[in-house]
Amino acid sequence: MRILITGCGLIGTYTAKELIELGDEVTFFDLQPNLEYLRKVLGRELPIIRGDIRELPALVEAMQTTKPEVVFHSAGLQGNRTPYFGFQVNLIGTLNAAEAVRLTGVRRLIHASSQAVYDLRNPPVPIHEEAPRDGGGRVYQGGKAACEEVLTAYAATYKFELALPRFASVYGYGPYTGGGNVGMDMYTMLQAALAGKPAPMGPGIADANDFVYAKDIAQGLRLITHAKTLTHHAYNLGTGAAPTIDDIQRSLQKILGDVRFTREQPSRPRPALDISRARSELGYEPKFDVEAGLRDFIAEMRR
């Protein structure tokens, strides 16, 4: 199968690794790819088309050139620090991906969505796909919710297949060029612990949350890519559990021994995602609880 992936950060890269191991033909579309990171994770070079997702003609040309059956749109920015630029990349970039899919006749578009679309003021436990959505007046969250609405309208109007996997809080061995507080805090903690220094447990990991390892996300995306049919647009991809800061600390001490920590105080725990839809319809089954994920993360850092 021919697949175009926009963005070769953590999720795009590990998804590409899953897909090429199946024999799929994967091409990246990225403005500034980290070639050293790609070689380390993939162990080989993949075709890369350099371009900006804010430029529709560049995306159309990339799809015309590669003729993908599936486009996985993972390029984007996380966080709320640069609202105008963030909306340009996330909203306009996503609209461009949908329009390019329409213009070139791509069969399926997969958009990297997030648990950020859910209204977390009074969420169900666990959070299922039909839970209320609300951007909460914040740039990243509001942008993700808006992207889902735009894509749903486009897919209904132009009759292409659409998947909206909503990721829990993702961590793993990544460049984090697009941001990602949870992943960056995990990485910073592990770097310090491996160097024998006090390991900071930053705000991204202070609260109970559904922490999902990047390789589990890649598994879910592989299943969505190869599903013959998609019964729904939205699929939660997480672990179905919400470890606390104490769980993370115990897990890391079990792996590395006597680790010293500095800790942020928990403030707003998040429920786990309900992953029963992905399990029943896609065959998704997470393989990494937080201890297994941290263990593999450390192994990837040491390679």
Give the tens place of pLDDT for each residue, 130-156. 999 987 778 888 999 999 999 999 999
Q: Which residues face 171 on adjacent strands? A: 213
What is residue 73's three-state secondary structure?
strand
- Answer yes or no: is pLDDT of 278 > 90: yes
Please name the amino acid found at residue 194: L
- Does any domain span residue 281? no
Residues 151 and 196 in one domain: no
Task: Give 127's pLDDT tier (boundaries 50, 70, 90).
Answer: very high
- Does any domain span residue 134? yes
User: Alpha carbon of 116 to those of 8, 31, 237: distances in Å?
Assistant: 21, 25, 13
Please name the amino acid found at residue 280: S
Q: What is the CATH number of the domain that holds 91?
A: 3.40.50.720
Residues 122 and 229 in one domain: yes
Residues 113 and 63 in one domain: yes
- Answer yes or no: is pLDDT of 177 > 70: no
Burial string for 31-48 (b: 16+ CB within 10 Å, else e) reads: bebbeebbeebbeeebee
Cα torsion 190, 191, 197, 201 to 10°: value is -50
Phi first, then psi: what are they for 159, rounded to 5°? 65, 40
C-beta of residue 243 within 8 angstroms of C-beta of residue 85: no
Q: How far is Cα 3 from Cα 28, in angstroms, rounded to an integer?
A: 9
Residues 186 and 161 in one domain: no
Task: Give the CA diameter of the chain.
Answer: 57
pLDDT at res. 170:
96
* CA atoms in the 13 A half-sphere facing the CB of 122: 0
Residue whose tokens read 């939205």:
234
Q: What is the mean pLDDT of residues 263-273?
A: 89
Task: Give 178's pLDDT tier (boundaries 50, 70, 90).
Answer: low
Which H or E run includes 25? strand 25-30
Domain extent for 68: 2-170+211-237
Residues 96 and 217 in one domain: yes
- Which pTM value belongs to this model? 0.96
Residues 18 and 148 in one domain: yes
- Does any domain span residue 244? yes
DSSP secondary structure letter of residue 53: T
Pairing of strands 108-111, 2-6: unpaired
Residues 216 and 264 in one domain: no
Q: Which residues contact 241 (CB under 8 A, 6 or more apart)?
A: 210, 272, 289, 290
Q: How far is Cα 33 from Cα 37, in angstroms, rounded to an integer?
A: 9
Q: How far is Cα 19 from Cα 13, in angstroms, rounded to an integer?
A: 10
Q: What is the CATH number of the domain that holds 262?
A: 3.90.25
Residue in 49, 76, 74 with CA at minimum distance from that of residue 63: 49
- Does any domain span residue 252? yes
C-beta of residue 146 within 8 angstroms of C-beta of residue 164: no
Residues 69 and 215 in one domain: yes
Number of domains the chain is built from: 2
Question: What does pLDDT average to over the chain?
Answer: 95
pLDDT tens, position by position, 218-259: 999 999 999 999 999 999 999 999 999 999 999 999 999 999
**Tokens at 250, concatenated:** 């115990």
How many CB atoms within 10 Å of residue 144?
Answer: 27
Please name the amino acid found at residue 41: V
- Does any domain span residue 278? no
User: Alpha carbon of 289 to those of 169, 212, 216, 242, 285: distances in Å?
Assistant: 13, 8, 10, 10, 11
